[in-house]
């Protein structure tokens, strides 16, 4: 476990240094916005397209990974719904739990972690899993938020299709799958350009996470108690359900290690960006991103070492 910690620690050091530089105002506030725009609209889409386009793709061969990850994500939505009803959460807290329980940082932190552990050979598999997360999050997840705001099914469906066809990450996945499945050979000059952009993605997304943490306010100590409970839940209970659920069904968890590791990621930054539009608990989300990211330094090595046995 210590050896694995040393492997992924450089990633978290980049996050830490970025947070410190932001906290002391060495870096301007506009940096996070610019870098996030680059990562979301250029860097990650290029990475997804590049990884999928280089690998012959077949839905028949990928059926298992698609179904297993889809069941886990949809199960997370169902679990959030049940917890919200049992605890009788208010609308704001209910919507916040619903979207946060499934919106783990599979892209910004997931890609760097998996490539650091398994190398670039894992990128096609990781790209497909990230695509599955994105599809369900921007259909069922955002669709429910839209419906909960105005109770209009037509508006919710319209926004779902808009999220699918205007999302640069999902578009890049679709194009990558088309190129990979048809085995179109791209010009070497284009591939080299894509590789150069891909190489910039990891440091960029880690810096974005660090800048977000650096700008977050500490607040009162008691407000961190529910945040701590939520963070421990998504970092330990959810991946444990995934891991031991697969085992109980007769699957070998080690063969699906990428899926389990991605399920153990901390909360992503995206829910914070959605907070104002969908009346979510912005402070809770911000603190959960910070807390879960910090705690993941300890929990991720555990899951990685468990799956390496």
**Minimal CA–CA distance to 285: which of 222, 220, 212?**
212
**Residue 20 pLDDT greater than 90, yes or no:** yes
Contact predicate 117/8, CB 8 Å: yes
User: Please, is 141 exposed, middle or buried when counting C-beta atoms within 10 Å of its C-beta (0-12, 13-18, 19+)?
Assistant: buried
pTM: 0.89
**Residue 154 pLDDT greater than 80, yes or no:** no
Q: CA 217, CA 227: separation in Å to the nearest integer? A: 14
User: Averaged over 68-91, what is the pLDDT?
Assistant: 94
**Residue 102 pLDDT greater than 90, yes or no:** no
Query: According to the model, what pLDDT value does residue 143 have?
Result: 85
Q: CA 50, CA 135: separation in Å to the nearest integer? A: 19
Helix ranges restricted to H, the chain: 2-23, 30-38, 44-53, 63-87, 91-100, 110-118, 123-136, 142-150, 153-166, 168-182, 188-215, 225-232, 238-248, 257-263, 270-278, 282-308
Residue 142: C-alpha distances to residues 146, 150, 157, 297 (Å): 6, 13, 10, 29
Q: What is the CATH number of the domain that holds 82?
A: 1.20.1530.20
Lowest mean pLDDT among 66-75, 141-150, 171-180: 141-150
Query: According to the model, what pLDDT value does residue 267 have?
Result: 95
Q: Which residues pair with 104 in a beta bridge?
A: 267
Query: According to the model, what pLDDT value does residue 30 have?
Result: 86
User: Averaged over 261-282, what is the pLDDT?
Assistant: 91
Domain holding 82, by residue range, is 2-308
**Minimal CA–CA distance to 78: which of 136, 155, 147, 162?**
136
Q: Give me the percent of the chain exceeding a pLDDT of 90.
A: 59
Query: According to the model, what pLDDT value does residue 146 have?
Result: 82
Q: Crossing angle of helices 270-278/142-150, nearest 10°?
A: 10
Lowest mean pLDDT among 71-85, 159-173, 177-191, 243-257: 159-173
Query: Is pLDDT larger for residue 307 or for residue 295?
Result: 295
Query: According to the model, what pLDDT value does residue 151 have?
Result: 63
**Minimal CA–CA distance to 290: which of 24, 12, 84, 81?**
12
Residue 147: C-alpha distances to residues 19, 56, 153, 227, 284 (Å): 36, 38, 6, 26, 22
Output DSSP code: residue 269: S
**Residue 139 pLDDT greater than 90, yes or no:** no
Residue 29: C-alpha distances to residues 15, 39, 186, 215, 253 (Å): 16, 16, 39, 8, 42
Count of domains forming the chain: 1
Q: Which residues pair with 267 in a beta bridge?
A: 104
């Amino acid at each position: 476990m210590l050896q694995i910690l040393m492997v992924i620690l450089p990633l978290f050091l980049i996050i830490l240094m970025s947070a410190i530089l932001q906290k002391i105002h060495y870096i301007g506030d506009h940096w996070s916005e610019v870098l996030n725009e680059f990562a979301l609209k250029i860097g990650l889409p290029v990475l997804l397209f590049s990884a999928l386009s280089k690998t012959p793709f077949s839905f028949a061969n990928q059926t298992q990974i698609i179904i297993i990850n889809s069941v886990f994500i949809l199960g997370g939505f169902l679990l959030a719904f049940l917890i919200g009803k049992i605890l009788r959460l208010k609308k704001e807290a209910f919507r916040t739990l619903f979207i946060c329980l499934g919106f783990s940082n599979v892209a910004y932190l997931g890609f760097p972690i998996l490539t650091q552990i398994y190398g670039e050979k894992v990128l096609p598999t990781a790209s497909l899993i990230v695509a599955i997360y994105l599809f369900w999050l921007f259909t069922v997840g955002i669709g429910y938020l839209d419906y909960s705001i105005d109770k209009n099914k037509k508006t919710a469906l319209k926004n779902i299709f808009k999220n699918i066809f205007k999302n640069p990450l999902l578009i890049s996945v679709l194009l990558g799958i088309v190129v990979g499945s048809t085995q179109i050979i791209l010009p070497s000059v284009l591939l080299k350009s894509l590789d150069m952009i891909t190489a910039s993605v990891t440091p960029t997304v880690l810096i974005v996470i660090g800048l977000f943490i650096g700008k977050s306010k500490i607040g009162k100590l008691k407000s961190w108690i529910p945040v701590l409970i939520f963070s421990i839940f998504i970092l330990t209970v959810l991946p444990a359900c995934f891991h031991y659920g697969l085992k109980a069904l007769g699957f070998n968890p080690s063969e699906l290690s990428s899926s389990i590791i991605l399920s153990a990621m901390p909360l992503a930054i995206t829910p914070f960006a959605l907070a104002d539009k969908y009346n979510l608990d912005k402070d809770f989300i911000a603190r959960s991103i910070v807390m879960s990211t910090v705690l993941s330094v300890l929990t991720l090595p555990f899951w990685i070492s468990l799956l390496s046995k």
